[in-house]
Amino acid sequence: MVAMSKIATGNGHGENSPYFDGWKAYETNPFHPTERPEGVIQMGLAENQLCFNLIKNWLIKHPEASLCTPQGVNKFKETALFQDYHGMPEFRQAVAKFMGKVRGDRVKFDPDRIVMSGGATGAHEMVAFCLADPGEAFLVPTPYYPGFDRDLKWRTGVELVPVNCESCNNFKITRNALEAAYVKVQEANLRVKGLLITNPSNPLGTVLDRDTLKSMVRFINDKNIHLIGDEIYASTVFMEPEFVSISEIIEEEDVECNRDLIHIVYSLSKDMGFPGFRVGIVYSYNDSVVSCARKMSSFGLVSSQTQHLIASMLSDDEFVDNFIIESKELLFNRHKYFTWSLSQVGIGCLKGNAGLFIWMDLRKLLKEETFAAEMELWRVITNEVKLNVSPGSSFHCQEPGWFRVCFANMDDYTMKVALLRIRTFMLKNNEAMVPLKLCRPSSLKLSLSRSLSRRMDDFMSPGIMSPHSPLPQSPLVRART
């Protein structure tokens, strides 16, 4: 056999983790309402499908934005020809403006600091290459996105060191926890090069408050290490408290900060539901990082066709303003429906106000307080309940029994089937704490079989509303209108 490199033969990608194993279970037997009604429902994919109609309506009104239409074909030649790695000026300007709007126009972004990459995955790796050498380390508060082990470590040789956060204070990041992790790295004779934070958090669905952000800025300033702010869920905050960007914190008068240490990773995969477009952004306040990252971006550019479409869409101020408000409202409605439904069968969740997922607490279902028991429960949920949810251990959570469940990557019907399966499972395990009153469900776009319709009737309660039913406005949306 021909020898291959250590990267090629190693397990740095992390594909064998439970996080990806759940995806394999789904891919082997994906749910379909008529062809595979007993298949696995994908609840492990943080994807925003709720806003697709908003995008679709804009595309119908603006066919010239696509090069593959009679209205847009005149732009085909100039767009299809070679584009350098700086990116189209109109694309960088539109993205910079959108980033400002998502943050309530409380901060402005310089288009000349916008660096493209192939999604947030490429952006994170690019930043890691710029800031650290193999064997050096980044601190990462737990629980954190499993893909970071691939994105930042696999090809760069960088180490990630968990900062342990606990459920007793809602997984808040404290200065004591940061200091403890920093000391641990030093004792291992590693050099700490930075702190990576995710705000809003994946998987918690929460935002970092202003005081916590200031504390982290003081920490990295004191240690003279970098701060990478992953803000790819910035526009998914659907309820107060509002999102506060690290870019706002460093503007405040009472915050002393070396801006050369501050870097932001952004993308349009979550906020606009465009993961397939692979639009990733590195925004650094360090001139040398901007210069180096721009050269590295040659390995993962955004296609010029995508840049053209995105620039056209994000330059439409009226559309962007409405999109931000309506997308938040859709997420608010779905989150309210989903969490209420779980509460009716005795399932609690960490209180969240952002993201495309909930952090579900199933600790009381564990046979014992171990990660082995968590994996046993996860296998039952995956193989018997037929739901792909992600176990907390795959997010480096230090406490067994937590699971991330995505709620925005499916239509109403699929969501209701998933909730019915959860209810059936909980009743079987005698965990239905709250009695349900019966009522008829809202009408569904898909026609249901008579037996499934009856089971759906049993699941619903007059206190719960369909995502299409009138709901009180999100307090955050209400404050902006």
Write out the catalytic residue numbers.
145, 230, 232, 270
Question: Is the separation of the CB atoms in 417 and 41 below 8 Å?
Answer: yes
User: Cβ neighbours of residue 202 under 8 Å, at least 6 residues apart?
Assistant: 46, 144, 145, 233, 355, 357, 404
CA-to-CA separations, 459 to 1, 9, 468, in angstroms, rounded: 57, 48, 17
Residue burial 179-198, b: 16+ Cβ < 10 Å; e: rest = eebbebbeeeeeebbbbbbb
Distance CA 20, CA 26 (A): 10
- Secondary-structure percent of the chain, ordered helix, strand, coil, rounded to 5: 45, 15, 40
User: Cβ neighbours of residue 410 under 8 Å, at least 6 residues apart?
Assistant: 41, 42, 43, 49, 418
Q: Where are the beta strands (DSSP E) in 6-119?
A: 41-42, 114-118
Distance CA 120, CA 268 (A): 9
Q: Tell the burial category of 389 from Cβ atoms under 10 Å away from its Cβ (0-12, 13-18, 19+).
A: buried
Give the SS3 label for residue 32.
strand
Strand partners, 227: 195, 262
Token pair in block for residue 186: 């030093």
CA-to-CA separations, 345 to 262, 330, 434, in angstroms, rounded: 44, 24, 6
Q: What is the DSSP code (8-state) at residue 150?
A: I
Distance CA 14, CA 465 (A): 39
